[in-house]
Every structure is written in structure tokens, then in C-alpha cells.
Amino acid sequence: MGQRLPSVVIVGRPNVGKSTLFNAISGRRRALVGAEPGITRDRIHEQVVYRGRCFELVDTGGIVPQESAEIPSQILKQARVALEQASHVVFVIDGRSELTAADVELAQLLRRLGKPISLAVNKIDAPTCENLMHDFHALGIPDVFPISAEHHLGLDELLEHVTAGFSTVQEEPSPGGIRVAIIGRPNVGKSTLLNALVGEERAIVSAIPGTTRDAVDQSVVRDGVCYVFVDTAGIRRKGKTKLMAEKLSVIMARKHIGLSDVALLVLDASEGVVGLDATIAGYAHEQGRALICCVNKWDLRKPQERTNFAQVIRDELKFLDYAPIAFVSALTGQGVPALYSLVRRVYESAGRRIPTGELNRFLTDLKVQVEPRVLYLTQTAVRPPTFLLFTDRPEPLHFSHERYFINQIRRRFGFEGTPIVIKTRWKRSR
């Protein structure tokens, strides 16, 4: 048995942004997020590495007071086990609303646990909200952090404090392995590719059934790195998806894309690129997943056709200009071993962080004049790499200017195989 990881438990009332914070810290969209209170009912766990410090992050269901003003102990039952094992508790409250009796009672209960507690005042993304911060010290928790989980603001300060006493490890792929979703239309060879990837390896760690009969996780260790391949159901056109089982398969395939680190988009070399390929690729792109275009059945084509076929992909899937292209034959094994290093490369690319000082030197070197004017920029998240541009006016950047910044960031820093997200924020002059 290995040493137990320190545990960071997120608690709070419903709809204060716990799941959004969980997703922002973990870099995965594992917890469901919505405006309806109580969407998260069970505890959700994820292993996270922050600046070399590895810990288990736990999202708990919203704690709801009964009709009486008290918060009886049974309401905490779902979070009790997690809280008892917690190394640090992050108590999330809504910074846009006044303190409630439930907030006060929950703070009292948490303090009685004797655990280190940080108060995360969420939804603080405007100067007017920052003026309300002093009100929250009334909860009696000394360590208070204004954050915006949605916009990834203030998370570094929070995490630096929360993980200060945790052991430092060499930052490697996530402890559960690099999760790779194999996606594509039906009958393009996804299952054959999965068999080719795991069948030639002798270090298969496990074969765990997925949440549906159509998805199976296969874990493989290669060169000391664990890869978890997920074979998803073929995604059909909406109009052709009539049976409930097929609809659920499509829903689960999209869910597995969201839970993955890297998506392998399998294209059929014998059919070329079709409209449904673009739709499926769009699912991965919109969810910010690193992506590789994997042209299967290449044994049916001539080697000299590669350049033309690659150009077809670039023309038909213009939004995937960042994605590397691999030509393979799952049936013969041609090109399959090279996918491992390619997956590792785009995984590391999607998790890369650029220091703020280096980014602002890059901005100075650009000498670009756009409206509104960009004052400085910082990287706020990984998977996908997300950059926040502070501007001198509240209006957003024009799409063409946003595209320009993405292209220049790629030219300077790489980020092969991953989407890049640009956000803007008006920095009000004081």
C-alpha cells in the first residue's frame, strides 16, 4: 500500500460554485455544473498535482438546512467521511449574496472539526464585489480568499495556501494515468485501434468495464507511463439516433470525451473526411481536450498520398489546425506504436504553464495595437491553456484580434495539439 494522499474537501451550500471550483482546480469537467441547486449529490474524487504537490480533491453535495434554522448532523452525513479524512477543508460561499444563517451554522460545525479551513468567497470577479469581502470575516475563519471559480481568478493564492504543507513530488501525468478517449463515427476502426494499442503490450494493468456496455477502459504501462484508453461508442447523426440505448451511448461518449486528457479522433482513410467527423471533433474542441487526428486504414492508401490527405483534413477541419495528424493501420499495426509518444507530447503541451513575466515580455515584443488596448496578460488555467487579457475598456476583443493572439502564442510557446482559450477582463483604472 502506498502512502495516502492528503485530501482537500470542498464544502458549502448548494449553488455557491463548489463544482465549478472542483472542475477549475482539477482541470477536468468531471463534476456536473448547472444553475439548479443540488446537482452534485455524491462525493466526487480527483487526484490533482499543483506545483509538484499531489493531493486528492473531493467535491461534496450541497449541504441544505432543514426547515428549522439548525443544521442537524444528519445533513452532513454525505460529507462526514470525507471531512473526517480531510487534510484541509475549503468552505465555499457566494460572494454576491449576504451571509445566511446556514453559512454561519456550517462554519461553526466545520470549526469544531479542528481541521485547517480556508474560506473561498466565490464569484468575486468585479471591484464592487471586493468591497464586500470584510463582511465574511464574521464567520470566524481567518484565511479568506476572494476567487472566481468560473474565471479562474484567485485560485493560485488559494491553492498555494491550501497545499503549503503537502509533500512535493515530480510532476508527472495524472496519478490515474493519461486518459485517452478514442472517438469517431461507427465502423472507422476504433475498437480495432484499441486492440492494437493494448494487444501488443504485455504490461496491461487492468481491464475495467465502463459505465455503459459500449465503453471499456484499458490501462497500459509503456516506458513507465500509464495510459488509460477508453473505446467510446460510435457517434451517429442526431437524426439517425432513435433508440434510447443509442442516444445514451452518444451521451456517454461525449461524457468520456470530457473526462479524457487526450482525444484520438479516428478518421477512415478509405472514406475521407465527412461532415460527421467535424461534428465529433467539435465535441472534443469545445470541451478543451487535447486532440490527435488519427487516419486509420492507411494500408488501403498509397504512402505518397499523405500530403494531399493531410491537406484535406486541414481544409475540412480548419478549427483543428493545432492537431497533429497520424497515419496508422490498426489492422496491421502500422504507425500504432508512435501514438504513445504523440499522446504524451500533446498531454504535456496541454498542461504547460507560462510564467506571467514571460508572457508580458512576449506582449511587449508583439508591439501590436488593438482596440481595446491590452495592458497585460496572464495564464489562468491548463487543459486547455487559458489566458486572461486585461484591457483598458470593457468591450471584448474582436474575433480577428483574439485569433491573432492565439496564433502568436502558438508561434512563441508551441502548445501543439491543444486548443487555446482567450478571455478578456476590463481593468478599471483607479
Joined grid coordinates for residue 403: 485569433
* 418/428 Cα distance (integer angstroms): 32
Question: Would you identify the CATH topology of the domain 178-350?
Answer: Rossmann fold (3.40.50)
The DSSP call for residue 394 is: S
Q: What is the enclosing helix (H) or strand (E) of 207?
A: strand 204-209
* 143/322 Cα distance (integer angstroms): 41
Written as tens digits, the pLDDT of the chain (430 aa) is 335 678 999 998 888 888 889 988 887 554 444 433 333 334 566 778 887 788 888 887 655 544 343 333 443 555 677 788 899 999 999 988 888 888 888 898 889 889 999 999 998 876 555 555 667 888 889 999 999 988 888 898 999 999 998 887 544 555 568 999 999 988 898 888 988 998 743 222 233 333 333 345 677 878 878 888 887 766 665 554 455 444 555 666 677 788 889 999 999 999 999 998 999 999 999 999 999 999 999 999 998 999 999 999 999 999 999 999 999 999 999 999 999 999 999 999 999 999 999 999 999 998 777 778 888 889 999 999 999 998 888 888 888 989 999 999 999 999 999 999 999 988 765 5
* 354/162 Cα distance (integer angstroms): 22
Beta strand residue intervals within 316-391, DSSP E: 325-327, 374-381, 386-391
| Per-residue pLDDT at 426 | 82
| Per-residue pLDDT at 138 | 82
Q: DSSP assignment of 285-314, as one string?
A: HHTT-EEEEEEE-GGGS-GGGHHHHHHHHH
Angle at 211 between CA 206 and CA 212, to 5 degrees: 110
Q: Are 336 and 367 in contact, with CB atoms under 8 Å apart? A: no
Angle at 246 between CA 245 and CA 251, to 5 degrees: 95
Nearest to 177 by CA among 126, 219, 123: 219
Domain boundaries, given as residue ranges, for the chain? 7-162, 178-350, 356-426
Nearest to 281 by CA among 150, 188, 164, 382: 188
Contact partners, residue 337, CB within 8 Å, separation at least 6? 200
Q: Are 7-162 and 178-350 the same fold in CATH?
A: yes
Phi, psi of 385 (to 5 degrees): -60, 125
316: left (phi over 0), alpha (psi -120 to 50) or beta: alpha
* 258/278 Cα distance (integer angstroms): 17
* 330/203 Cα distance (integer angstroms): 19
Q: DSSP assignment of 96-127, as one string?
A: TS---HHHHHHHHHHHHTT--EEEEEE---SH
CATH of 356-426, one of 3.30.300.20, 3.40.50.720, 3.40.50.1100, 3.20.20.70: 3.30.300.20
The 10 Å CB-count burial string (b at 16+, else e) for 162-175 is bbeebeeeeeebbe
Q: DSSP assignment of 139-189, as one string?
A: GS-S-EEE-BTTTTBSHHHHHHHHTTTSPB----S-TT-EEEEEE-STTSS
| Per-residue pLDDT at 286 | 92
| Per-residue pLDDT at 300 | 93
Residue 335 to residues 132, 300, 321, 345, 347, Cα–Cα distance (Å): 58, 14, 21, 16, 19
| Per-residue pLDDT at 77 | 56
Question: Would you identify the CATH topology of the domain 7-162?
Answer: Rossmann fold (3.40.50)
Q: Is the preceding peptide bond at 372 cis, omega within 30 degrees of 0?
A: yes
Residue 429 to residues 357, 370, 426, Cα–Cα distance (Å): 21, 18, 9
| Per-residue pLDDT at 38 | 37
| Per-residue pLDDT at 370 | 77
| Per-residue pLDDT at 130 | 55
Angle at which helices 244-259 and 275-286 cross, to 10°: 50
